[in-house]
């Protein structure tokens, strides 16, 4: 085990009988490194990157694994498909095609909370905690909760996993670091985070297996009723798992091959969402791949960081160009506070302040391809029609024929969204019934129907705001007796 001081630690474990260099030679996870890092630091510190900002006072929202005694103080937690709720474990289940001599590699990654406390000497010579301090060089320092990355690599032959589950410790050690400032000091403290990961394999058919990877917080909360801020000191933050290996090919959970669809539905992940990593072209059908990323955030298969992005802004929900512009407009005082808050905030400001014009220009937008314009339009599902924009079109009265049935406003339908290349959220709408609100024609000549989903408690509100789900005609199944839609 190796600890790298203020930047966290790494560790490696090999299966019994194997030496570590052979078991972990090379790094198969480099193809998903940028996306995995974005997951690790998503929401770590948000614009305007200042400690005083309200949004930076309530943090750690994804993949938080706390001691079980604290999580279940009010009863067991309800399992979910992503990690936006606090839990004490994560479970990833997936399908994998594998050769008999395959070796599975697992990388468990998370952030470990680090309390940065600024201290000043008192009259008695003893240090006391303070909120801020200015060093002899004039640099400001603020007390703040940082976090450092920690990861652990595990490896087992598939044959060994088939004989029974294997468990390895994935704990992060406690540490204390002191930085003298002349006028005071900064003390960084990390508490011991206890955790372990259990991996199991089950043979389903020749060459097809189901894997289960479960990571648990194994710590005990000193006080099960302590505030969340205290319990976080023993937590795994932004926890996620990477899977790869020699002789392995993972099956997409969101869009599996037709022959494996029922098997894939039988996999049950909890508080994490597994997707294929790396470029889609690594497999012929796009539905299998050599790497799996199981993250506490819902992602599509083969997620990628845009090549135009010059660096992480810790907020993937924002547009880089807009966020960069807003950061440029911070006042000198605001930038000074951000730099004093956290070293990562300082690096963001340095990058923005020194960004060359050509790099900034690249943030304005990019066209990936002109050939599949219709396909890309379907994926984005834009509706361009406006009242009075074209006298020949009327979303509330137009119809489109599906299976011999004209569908228009008021028509009842069943949703069968295509899953490949679609919004990842669409998988939760498969088989749901809905009502058509309007028919829209896109500029490329394609048609989309706006629908409201039945049993959605906010359907009426969404309709009032004009917020709908959009689907192609071939993603809808008419319901009813085939009569004309209501006038």
Query: 10 Å Cβ neighbour count for 3?
Result: 16
What 3-state class would DSSP assign to 451? strand
The pLDDT value recorded for residue 385 is: 41
Q: Are 82 and 240 in contact (CB under 8 A)?
A: no
> Distances from the Cα of 356 to the Cαs of 320, 359, 360, in angstroms?
15, 5, 6
What 3-state class would DSSP assign to 200? strand
What is the rounded CA–CA span in Å between residue 429 and residue 416?
8
| Residues with Cβ within 8 Å of residue 249, at least 6 apart in sequence | 96, 97, 98, 283, 288, 289, 290
What is the rounded CA–CA span in Å between residue 260 and residue 64?
32
Q: Are 339 and 55 in contact (CB under 8 A)?
A: no
Q: Are 83 and 39 in contact (CB under 8 A)?
A: no
User: Judging by beta carbons within 10 Å of its beta carbon (0-12, 13-18, 19+), is residue 408 exposed, middle or buried?
Assistant: buried
Q: Which of 291, 255, 294, 251 lies closest to 273, judged by CA?
A: 294
> Distances from the Cα of 300 to the Cαs of 21, 35, 243, 291, 421, in angstroms?
33, 12, 16, 14, 8
Q: Are 425 and 297 in contact (CB under 8 A)?
A: no
| Residues with Cβ within 8 Å of residue 386, at least 6 apart in sequence | none
> Distances from the Cα of 465 to the Cαs of 436, 452, 458, 460, in angstroms?
15, 12, 11, 9
What is the rounded CA–CA span in Å between residue 472 and residue 112?
45
The pLDDT value recorded for residue 384 is: 40
Alpha carbon 106 to chain centroid, angstroms: 18
The pLDDT value recorded for residue 348 is: 94
Alpha carbon 278 to chain centroid, angstroms: 15
pLDDT digit string (tens) for the chain, length 487 residues: 233 334 444 444 433 333 333 434 578 899 899 999 999 999 999 989 999 988 888 889 899 999 999 999 988 888 887 777 789 999 999 999 999 899 999 999 999 999 999 999 988 889 999 999 988 788 899 999 999 999 999 999 999 999 999 999 999 999 999 999 888 999 999 999 999 999 999 999 999 999 999 999 999 998 999 999 999 999 999 999 999 998 999 999 999 999 999 999 999 999 999 999 988 777 666 688 899 999 999 999 999 888 888 888 998 878 888 889 999 999 999 999 999 999 999 999 999 999 888 888 888 766 554 444 444 433 333 334 444 445 556 777 888 889 889 999 999 999 988 776 556 677 788 889 999 998 988 766 788 899 999 888 777 766 666 778 889 898 999 997 544 444 4
User: Judging by beta carbons within 10 Å of its beta carbon (0-12, 13-18, 19+), is residue 259 exposed, middle or buried?
Assistant: exposed
Q: Which of 168, 154, 195 lies closest to 64, judged by CA?
A: 195
Q: Which of 158, 145, 172, 175 lies closest to 59, judged by CA?
A: 145
User: Judging by beta carbons within 10 Å of its beta carbon (0-12, 13-18, 19+), is residue 178 exposed, middle or buried?
Assistant: exposed
Q: What is the pTM of this model?
A: 0.73
Q: Report the DSSP pairing between strands 476-478 and 469-471.
A: unpaired
CA angle 10/47/7 to nearest 5° reads: 15
**End-to-end CA, the chain:** 71
What is the rounded CA–CA span in Å between residue 276 and residue 254?
9
Q: Which of 209, 207, 94 lies closest to 161, judged by CA?
A: 209
Tokens of 122: 């008192």
């Amino acid at each position: 085990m190796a600890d790298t001081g203020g930047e966290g630690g790494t560790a490696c474990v090999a299966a019994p009988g194997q030496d570590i260099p052979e078991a972990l030679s090379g790094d198969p996870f480099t193809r998903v490194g940028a996306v995995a890092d974005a997951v690790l630091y998503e929401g770590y510190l948000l614009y305007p990157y200042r400690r005083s900002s309200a949004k930076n006072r309530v943090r750690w929202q994804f993949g938080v694994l706390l001691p079980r005694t604290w999580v279940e103080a009010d009863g067991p937690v309800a399992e979910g498909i992503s990690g936006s709720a606090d839990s004490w474990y994560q479970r990833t289940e997936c399908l994998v095609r594998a050769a008999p001599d395959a070796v599975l590699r697992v990388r468990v990654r998370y952030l470990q909370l680090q309390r940065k406390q600024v201290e000043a000497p008192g009259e008695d010579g003893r240090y006391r905690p303070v909120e801020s301090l200015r060093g002899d060089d004039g640099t400001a320092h603020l007390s703040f909760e940082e976090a450092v990355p920690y990861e652990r690599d595990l490896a087992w032959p598939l044959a060994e996993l088939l004989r029974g589950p294997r468990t390895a410790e994935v704990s992060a050690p406690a540490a204390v670091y002191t930085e003298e400032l002349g006028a005071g000091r900064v003390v960084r403290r990390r508490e011991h985070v206890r955790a372990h990961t259990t991996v199991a394999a089950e043979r389903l058919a020749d060459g097809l297996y189901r894997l289960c990877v479960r990571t648990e917080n194994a710590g005990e909360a000193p006080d099960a009723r302590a505030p969340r801020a205290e319990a976080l000191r023993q937590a795994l933050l932004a926890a996620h798992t990477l899977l790869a290996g020699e002789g392995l090919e993972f099956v997409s959970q969101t869009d599996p091959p037709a022959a494996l669809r029922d098997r894939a539905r039988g996999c049950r992940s909890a508080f994490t969402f597994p997707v294929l990593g790396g470029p889609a072209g690594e497999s012929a059908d796009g539905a299998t791949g050599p790497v799996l990323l199981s993250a506490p955030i819902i992602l599509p298969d083969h997620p990628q960081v845009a090549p135009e992005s010059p660096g992480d802004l810790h907020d993937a929900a924002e547009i880089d160009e807009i966020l960069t512009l807003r950061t440029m407009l911070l006042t000198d005082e605001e930038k000074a506070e951000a730099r004093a808050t956290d070293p990562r905030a300082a690096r963001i400001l340095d990058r923005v302040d020194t960004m060359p014009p050509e790099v900034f220009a690249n943030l304005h937008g990019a066209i990936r391809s002109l050939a599949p314009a219709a396909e890309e339009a379907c994926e984005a599902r834009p509706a361009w029609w406006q009242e009075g924009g074209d006298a020949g079109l009327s979303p509330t009265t137009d119809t489109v024929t599906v299976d011999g049935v004209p569908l228009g406003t008021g028509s009842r339908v069943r949703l069968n969204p295509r899953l490949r290349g679609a919004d990842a959220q669409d998988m939760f709408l498969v088989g749901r019934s809905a009502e058509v609100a309007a028919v829209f024609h896109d500029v490329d000549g394609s048609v989309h129907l706006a629908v409201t989903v039945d049993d959605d408690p906010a359907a009426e509100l969404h309709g009032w705001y004009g917020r709908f789900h959009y689907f192609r005609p071939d993603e809808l199944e008419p319901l009813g007796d085939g009569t004309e839609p209501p006038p």
